[in-house]
Amino acid sequence: MFLIVGLGNPEKQYEKTFHNLGFIAAGDCAALLGAKFKKRECEAMVAEGYIGGEKILVARPLTYMNASGRAVKQLVAKYKLSPHELVVVYDDYDLPKGHVRVRPSGSAGTHNGMRSVIAELGTSDFARVRIGIRGEDPDIPLIRYVLSEIAKSDYDLFASACTRAAEAAVLLARGEDVDRVMTKYNA
């Protein structure tokens, strides 16, 4: 079994913001697996799919971004998963917009959602797929920027990035070597 978690905020007002790119990518993961978000468990909406008979869960935490770790910890505990059976997909201000970066582990950087996941799990030793969001205007405070709506002129760029992030996450869930996935998807 494997768990893919896309980080975001659960309310409609955040739907088209940078901070919801993890939710969008999770939707793309579910679509790739032919799954739908039907069940609510462990403070998350969960879609269940299969690859070669192996169950893959895709989750969108219903906690707010800064408390995402709560839902992730509950799911990991419920399904008795190791950190190596988890991949987290999220937006990252430290990468240029539209870039996708896969890593086998690492720090939270500037991301409070990842900070929560690492704190709750007690480890940073799990795969992550980051979607770059850094734009041209560095004068906007980070919290305002990540919660701002994506410009319509950038929709295609971010839709493509979310699709690539979802493909990378599903490959990792399928057991593909992380180095190969990094070579294929890292910008």
pLDDT value at residue 102: 96
The model's confidence at residue 73, banded by pLDDT at 50, 70 and 90, is very high
Q: Where in the sequence is the domain holding 67, given as residue range(s)? A: 2-185
Angle between helices 112-121 and 68-78 (to 10 degrees): 40
Q: Write the pLDDT tens digit of every residue in 124-171.
A: 999 999 999 987 766 777 778 888 888 899 999 999 999 999 999 999
pLDDT value at residue 137: 67
Token pair in block for residue 182: 């990094």
Cβ neighbours for 85, distance < 8 A, ≥ 6 positions apart: 1, 2, 3
Q: What is the pTM of this model?
A: 0.94
Alpha-helical runs (H) found in 8-154: 21-33, 68-78, 112-121, 142-146
- H/E segment holding residue 128: strand 127-134
Q: What is the mean pLDDT of the chain?
A: 93
Q: Domain of 16: which CATH number? A: 3.40.50.1470
Number of domains in the chain: 1
Pairing state between β 127-134 and 54-61: unpaired
Q: Write the pLDDT tens digit of every residue in 3-25.
A: 999 999 998 999 998 899 999 99
Catalytic sites, residue numbers = 19
Reference 102, options 27, 181, 4; nearest CA is: 181
pLDDT value at residue 187: 66
CA distance 34 to 30: 6
pLDDT value at residue 151: 86
Q: What is the DSSP letter of 175?
A: T
